[in-house]
Structure 1
Amino acid sequence: MKVLKFGGSSVANPENIIKIKNIISKYEDQIILVVSAFGGVTDHLLEAGTLASTQDESYKKVLATLEERHLTATKQLLPVNAQSRVLSKVKSEFNELETLLEGAFYIGEITPRLSDRIVSFGELLSSYIISEYLKSEQLDAKFKDSREIIITQKLNGKNMVNFAKTNANCIAYFKASNAKITVCPGFISTSEEGNSTTLGRGGSDYTAAIYAAALDAEILEIWTDVSGMYTANPKMVKQAKAIPHISYEEAMELSHFGAKVLYPPTIQPVLSKGISIVIKNTFDPEANGTLITKSKNEKGKTVRGISHIGNIALISLEGPGMVGIPGISKRFFEVLSQADISVVLITQASSEHSICVGISADDVEKAVQIVNEAFEYEIERGRIKTVIPEKDLAIVALVGDNMKSHQGLSGKMFSTLGKNNVNIRVIAQGASERNISCIIDQKDVKKALNALHEEFFEENIKQLNLFVMGVGNVGAKFLEQIRSQRKFLKENLKLNIRVIGMSNSRTMFFDEKGIDLNTWQEKLANGQKADKSKFLELVNTLNFRNSIFVDNTASEDVSTSYSEYLGNSISVVTCNKIACSSAYENYAHLKSLARSYNAPFLFETNVGAGLPIIDTLKHLIASGDKILKIQAVLSGSLNFVFNNFNDTTTFHDVVKQAQEEGYTEPDPKIDLSGVDVMRKILILARESGNVLEISDIKNNPFLPEESLKTTNNEDFFASLIKHEPHFQNLYASAKNADSKLKYVAQYDNGVASVGLQEIPKGHDFYNLEGSDNIVLFYTERYPNQPMIIKGAGAGADVTASGIFADIIRIGNF
């Protein structure tokens, strides 16, 4: 004997019912087929009852719609010659239902008994129609009303199954029945007085479990619209996987914490009998599903699933009057129990100063009122604080039988949440250590589930979600590098990098599933109007784990938003030097935010493009070394200019070439005035541990005063032509001294300066080619022969690669 239960989604329409027929046709065993009402029918029946009880005649429209749906299903499922009798029966049932609703309409109320009677029609009609359809398909099927077998009794005001009578009825009926398929309605039962009753939430599953336990069935199969119990909610965690095998206890824990495919009481009747349960998918019957047994899970498995309950509120009873006073807890929970308020999570401080409970948000107003009334005496005397609820919360739980055998799981869980700025309000762990639960903000649930799933189930593949602002020269190269390296990163570094949002100065575009980097230009061109504030708002609203804001612009306006990203635990990677060379107070604040919110703030490309200058400096400082002096050629653009300028060229033409090839900023005066180099040496000085402002740096300009005072590129380039003799004199002076012109930055003993210098032969800077940069670090460990870092220091490709390297550093944190 096997018991199969098909839920509302499985019997939602005739097409799905045909799928059920195809499934059960392959069974050779005798089976009991328990079915729910057609999808959504129970809710509509409750709606009709409510409308009727408030004397709203629109209940008739609801009733008419339901009747038409059942009649249509009958016509679609049964051949014409078999329809008449079934249609007549369906109409007869709806006539009875109409009479009951009319009664509720005339008396202006609906009693619990009448409500049970009304909603019972959903399962009665669906099971009857399905049984007649199976007969018409030449299957040996028979209908049996569950109300004739399952008997309930009143206990503490609730309908509870009388198992002695129910089991006896079940055994007697099926012993006498020879039908291969017995179709039974789920959810409904009969009281000892003969009135229709219902079995509450999960009632159809419960019905199936009752039959399975009474008859010692071989297995209980729960057919639904998913392929088993998943490691997490697949609607929220795309990488979630079906769990092949799980224990009763694990299944109950996951079900309690929101896994909707199974309701905990369902397991109770089969638990003591050791009857296995399998969760199967009506729409993918070949999938293995999840087997639930009394045995423990596979050896070595710790966390089996991650689940959650939403719509939670937290109420806390706290105050000095609780310490050492017996009976406080009893009074607290007794008040909630008497109000029929279910407590889903409890935690108490060891000081006895407070007790926190998580309850459904639907009950919170009532709970606050009754608890404050119950402790009114203590509240008035200041011994207990007035209860004030916290709303918009959710419970997230790790579940697994073997969790108690492994150290550090809770630390790993809380560390993962903390890294993603998920604030934990309450923590609870049972003595069995089968679950670790915590209460968090409802808005953080999706991020928390995905972060935890990634940590515990995804073979250490870490997903990074990028939000890129600036997709011009550098930005476009960066996106191309990500596109070409995604497979390599996933296979070798276990990093899955997705670009979720991007923006240029005109438009911005977001895709929660990740932007296709083969077609990003088209998507961005058709995106919404660019808005820096809206961009930030969307990043925060999406609230993805491992979020990184990437700034490829040179915009001061964009740089002012870094604090808002970091303050929401969103990492920042930037080639924009403005923030780190702004007022020291702002620089220090950004660094502090990065530490406080565990959100890396990386700007390697601020100095030397893709060269590991800042990273090397950080390692020197972290290892205990001390910077004594820094000498550097830090402008790839200026090095390019002076390496290509001579007495056969014009300074104007070389600068123009540098701009066109992407070596300079859009405004080349930023480079040639020395401002860009000043920012870079300032950043290196600060990263060395020094407090310095840009105004402290001495700038020895080589540009004529007129060039420095220009306000646009046209005027600037015109001034270069006008002052060509000045630049030729600079070149001639260096040539006569057998030297080369290099723009040098220096920091020594608290003093920083930048300026054009004539570098003689034999100096480390003399043979610096093209747009290369070079940095000499003189330290306590390298006092005479400095540590030298040298290489390409400008250009879109190398700058993009430096940004990419910072992204990978974050991925490896």
Structure 2
Amino acid sequence: MKVLKFGGTSVGSSKNINKVINILNDYAKTDPVICVVSAVGGITDKLLLAGELAKNKDTSFNNTFDIIKDIHFSIVKDLVPNNNDSIMRYVDEKLVELKSLLDGIYLINELSPKTSDKLLTFGELLSSFILAETLKSRNAPAAYKNSQDLVVTNSNFTKAEVDYPLTYSNIQTYFNAAKQQITILPGFISKSKSGEQTTLGRGGSDFTAAMVSAALNVEQLEIWTDVSGMYTTNPKLVKQAYPIKKISYQEAMELSHFGAKVLYPPTVQPVLNLNIPIHIKNTLEPEVAGTIISNDDTNGNGPVKGISNINNIALLTLQGSGMIGIPGFSRRLFETLSLDKINVILITQASSEHSICLGIEEKDAEAAKLAIDATFENEIALRKIDPIILEKDLSIIALVGDKMKNHQGISGKMFSTLGKNNINIRAIAQGASEKNISAVIAQSDVKKALNTLHEQFFETKTKQLNVFITGVGNVGEKLVEQIKKQRKYLKENLKINMRIAGLSNSRTMVFNDDGLDLNHWKETLEAGEKASLKGFYEKTKSLNLRNSIFVDVTANYDVSNLYADYLRSSIGVVACNKIACSSDFENYKLLKQLSLKYNAPFLFETNVGAGLPIIDTLNNLMASGDKIKSIQAVLSGSLNFVFNNFSDKTKFYDVVKDAAAEGYTEPDPRIDLSGVDVARKILILARESGVEMNLEDIENTPFLSDSGLKSDSVDDFYKTLIEDESHYQNLYASAKAKNCQLKYVAQFNGDKASVGLQEIPEGHPFYNLEGKDNIVMFYTQRYPEQPMIIKGAGAGADVTASGLFADIIRIGND
């Protein structure tokens, strides 16, 4: 004999009921089947709503009743389109009874627990009868049995207590004599010893199925629902979650207590006592294996079996120096909550006895605070303890696993993983059995927390990075394409799952918390919402994705001013924009401090040498204990390109235009040619060397003509290049006469820095620097005579994008 219980969604439509019928017919071919049925999905809530409306003298209860009526009639007509008179007659009779009951509630303006139980029985009575009669109409060997004839309880309405000996005897007597292959039983409903209608409370249909299974000592109880078993965590929030093949009773109950709604713990006690396995199956996908709950846990999973959560939690804190060493505080606290029928979900107490924290449902929070403040009114008045502290909008997350106690470091991994994503923990609770580690966090952090912990404990060590890019111009477009091309490689070889979750240009912006489709990102961005720098930040923050990284591919002052906001929100920042790191030293210092405080990486390698590892090398030298004595560098790929291509056979204007067309200069070439860009770069290197310095401290010797320096616009500047061609030819002629090359050089010597055009003699490391290449020479304590040299392309969209990409990967490898 097999016992199958089908939940509300399994019988929520005629389509699903047909799936249930197919399952029952398949099982009945080999074994007698007992099928316990819940009310049609959503009907119990509608019955409760109708009752409340009627009690409150709201005539719209009639509308809710009409919906209930239409749902059931529609299901019958779909299931049994012909010869359904007997079914329709029964359904109509029950609905007439229901309408009379609601009218009565409306008239007396009262809904007692006893009446509430009677009201709620209609859902199961209707669904089970419809299923049984549909089976009979299709010639299945089925019979209907009202569970109220079998399950006997006391008169504790809404959550009646079962008389097990009498109930088990009734079940055994009936089924020992039953001849049919399929028996349909309504779940949840029962009758008291005096014959009054009662219900078994939340999870009552599971309870009915468990009692039948225990009374008949069947081999296995099957609970059919709309998911394929118990998952490693909530699959609606964590797409990588997957069903657990086998799990112990204790683990299943812990997960269920903390939000896994597949199973309601108290209802399975009858089968647990007899070690009857429970098999969770999916009505919509009956071929899927599902989850087996038993004491025979041979599953090869790690020590953590699942991660669960409960939302809408409030935290109550009772604290004060007057509690220390004084007995009775805990008793009075819990007694107060008990008298107000407030359930405590989580408890934690400091060893100093200075405070007790309680997690309760948020709906009970205000009542709990009033009751506790009243109980301790005298102690509060005498300032022995503080008024109760109430915090709302919280959730509890829990790691569950029988084997956690045998593995060191589980709690350490849990809390460090949460900490790295700046998920603040308000309270912690862990039982001595170590089967559950619970933490109270902000409800807004639940999705991030579950994804982060699932990645840590259940997935191949792949780290997901969520990238948000502002500035999808020349460099930004190259970066997107590089990420698109390398995603598979990163996942397979570096175990980094990189997703672009947000993009913005000057006109539009677009977001997708599952990652944008990079095959059509241009079209998606074109159709996006209106761009806003603050809006981009707010959306990035509100998505609250783990390992979020903001990438600034602009030269915009306002964008750089938002770095602090991103870092405070624990969102990493990767920037090729030099403005922030070359701004006032106090701002630079603040960004560094925020990065450390909020565990948010702040990387800006491309500020100095595009894709060259200049800052990274400098940081490694400093971290290893070396000291910078001096730096000599050619740091402008654009200026090096210009002076490598300028001669007495070319025009300075044409060469600058070529550099701009190749993307080597900023949109405003004056930033490059004035030396400001190079000054910012050497300033950044000086600061990274540990020296406090500002931009005005850098000696900048310009080579532009006076009119070029004073130009009011980019167009005016280009005109000066034509007009002042002789000025630039004189610079070239002077260098050529000395057999020198013109190079724009940056220098830093301990506490001084300068930039300017220099005539570099033959034999100098800078002399043969070609094209757009950069070169940096670090003279340090360890490299006093022969410097450490870094040389390579220092400008261009591809190499700059690759430098940004390298910074993002560096964050992923942390």
Same fold judged by TM-score > 0.5?
yes
Q: 2:53 aligns with which of 44, 51, 54?
A: 51
Q: Is residue 394 from structure 1 mapped to residue 395 from structure 2 by the alignment?
A: yes
Stretch deviating more after TM superposition (634-643 or 334-343): 334-343
Please name the residue that 1:546 is paired with. 547
Please name the residue that 1:522 is paired with. 523
Superposed displacement of residue 55, structure 1? 2.8
Give the secondary-structure state (helix, strand or coil) at the position aligned to 2:346: strand
- In structure 2, distance between residues paired with 1:136 and 1:186: 22
- In structure 2, distance between residues paired with 1:367 and 1:199: 26
Give the secondary-structure state (helix, strand or coil) at the position aligned to 2:255: helix
Please name the residue that 1:98 is paired with. 99
- In structure 1, distance between residues paired with 2:517 and 2:785: 52
Give the secondary-structure state (helix, strand or coil) at the position aligned to 1:29: coil
Superposed displacement of residue 530, structure 1? 0.8
Q: 1:7-46: CA deviations, max 9, x gaps?
A: 1111011111001111121112111101111111111111
Please name the residue that 2:221 is paired with. 220
- In structure 2, distance between residues paired with 1:55 and 1:650: 90
- In structure 2, distance between residues paired with 1:160 and 1:78: 37
Please name the residue that 1:60 is paired with. 62
Superposed displacement of residue 104, structure 1? 1.5
- In structure 2, distance between residues paired with 1:118 and 1:146: 16
Please name the residue that 2:356 is paired with. 355
Superposed displacement of residue 765, structure 1? 0.5
- In structure 2, distance between residues paired with 1:165 and 1:44: 33
Q: Is the 8 A contact 1:297 1:401 kept in 2?
A: no
Q: Is the 8 A contact 2:778 2:789 kept in 1?
A: yes
Q: Is the 8 A contact 2:396 2:438 kept in 1?
A: yes
Alignment of 1:557-568 (within 5 A): 557-568=558-569
Please name the residue that 2:20 is paired with. 20
Please name the residue that 2:299 is paired with. 298
Please name the residue that 2:426 is paired with. 425
Q: Is the 8 A contact 1:776 1:789 kept in 2?
A: yes
Q: Is residue 71 from structure 1 mapped to residue 73 from structure 2 by the alignment?
A: yes
Q: 1:389-415: CA deviations, max 9, x gaps?
A: 100000001111111111111111111
Give the secondary-structure state (helix, strand or coil) at the position aligned to 1:160: coil
Q: Is residue 798 from structure 1 mapped to residue 792 from structure 2 by the alignment?
A: no
Q: Is residue 129 from structure 1 mapped to residue 130 from structure 2 by the alignment?
A: yes
Superposed displacement of residue 300, structure 1? 5.9
Q: Is residue 669 from structure 1 mapped to residue 670 from structure 2 by the alignment?
A: yes
- In structure 1, distance between residues paired with 2:711 and 2:11: 77
Q: 1:494-534: CA deviations, max 9, x gaps?
A: 11111111111111111222111111111111111111111
The amino acid across from 2:11 in the alignment is V
- In structure 2, distance between residues paired with 1:4 and 1:137: 20
- In structure 1, distance between residues paired with 2:187 and 2:549: 50
Please name the residue that 2:381 is paired with. 380
- In structure 2, distance between residues paired with 1:677 and 1:660: 20
TM-score after normalising by structure 1 = 0.99
Superposed displacement of residue 89, structure 1? 1.3
Superposed displacement of residue 739, structure 1? 0.9
Superposed displacement of residue 223, structure 1? 0.6
Q: Is the 8 A contact 2:124 2:187 kept in 1?
A: yes
Please name the residue that 1:29 is paired with. 31
- In structure 2, distance between residues paired with 1:226 and 1:385: 46
Superposed displacement of residue 297, structure 1? 4.8
- In structure 2, distance between residues paired with 1:777 and 1:62: 79
- In structure 1, distance between residues paired with 2:341 and 2:158: 11
- In structure 2, distance between residues paired with 1:749 and 1:41: 78
- In structure 2, distance between residues paired with 1:157 and 1:57: 25
Stretch deviating more after TM superposition (425-434 or 133-142): 133-142
The amino acid across from 2:40 in the alignment is F
- In structure 1, distance between residues paired with 2:415 and 2:807: 25
The amino acid across from 1:546 in the alignment is N
The amino acid across from 2:633 in the alignment is A
Count of residue pairs the alignment pairs up: 812
Give the secondary-structure state (helix, strand or coil) at the position aligned to 1:159: coil
Please name the residue that 2:41 is paired with. 39
- In structure 1, distance between residues paired with 2:472 and 2:99: 65
Give the secondary-structure state (helix, strand or coil) at the position aligned to 2:35: strand
Give the secondary-structure state (helix, strand or coil) at the position aligned to 1:306: strand
Give the secondary-structure state (helix, strand or coil) at the position aligned to 1:496: strand
- In structure 1, distance between residues paired with 2:740 and 2:110: 102
- In structure 1, distance between residues paired with 2:323 and 2:173: 56
Give the secondary-structure state (helix, strand or coil) at the position aligned to 1:758: strand
Q: Is the 8 A contact 2:145 2:183 kept in 1?
A: yes
Alignment of 1:241-252 (within 5 A): 241-252=242-253
Alignment of 1:156-305 (within 5 A): 159-299=160-300, 301-305=302-306
Give the secondary-structure state (helix, strand or coil) at the position aligned to 1:26: helix
Q: Is the 8 A contact 2:585 2:692 kept in 1?
A: yes
TM-score after normalising by structure 2 = 0.99
The amino acid across from 1:41 in the alignment is I
Uncovered stretches (5+) of structure 2, i.e. residues with no partner:
none
The amino acid across from 2:608 in the alignment is V
Alignment of 1:240-639 (within 5 A): 240-299=241-300, 301-639=302-640
Q: Is the 8 A contact 2:189 2:200 kept in 1?
A: yes
- In structure 1, distance between residues paired with 2:6 and 2:732: 88
- In structure 2, distance between residues paired with 1:794 and 1:60: 73
Q: Is the 8 A contact 1:231 1:240 kept in 2?
A: yes
Stretch deviating more after TM superposition (299-308 or 139-148): 299-308
Q: Is residue 811 from structure 1 mapped to residue 806 from structure 2 by the alignment?
A: no
Percent identity among equivalent residues? Answer: 61
Q: Is residue 686 from structure 1 mapped to residue 661 from structure 2 by the alignment?
A: no
- In structure 2, distance between residues paired with 1:301 and 1:44: 42
Superposed displacement of residue 158, structure 1? 5.0
Q: Is the 8 A contact 1:631 1:746 kept in 2?
A: yes
Uncovered stretches (5+) of structure 1, i.e. residues with no partner:
none
- In structure 1, distance between residues paired with 2:689 and 2:39: 71
Q: Is the 8 A contact 2:779 2:787 kept in 1?
A: yes
Give the secondary-structure state (helix, strand or coil) at the position aligned to 2:488: helix
Query: What is the RMSD of the two structures over their aligned residues, measured on CA atoms?
Result: 1.1
- In structure 2, distance between residues paired with 1:683 and 1:677: 10
Please name the residue that 1:785 is paired with. 786
- In structure 2, distance between residues paired with 1:764 and 1:62: 86
- In structure 2, distance between residues paired with 1:472 and 1:98: 66
Q: Is the 8 A contact 1:584 1:692 kept in 2?
A: yes
Stretch deviating more after TM superposition (509-518 or 745-754): 509-518
- In structure 1, distance between residues paired with 2:801 and 2:244: 41
The amino acid across from 1:48 in the alignment is A
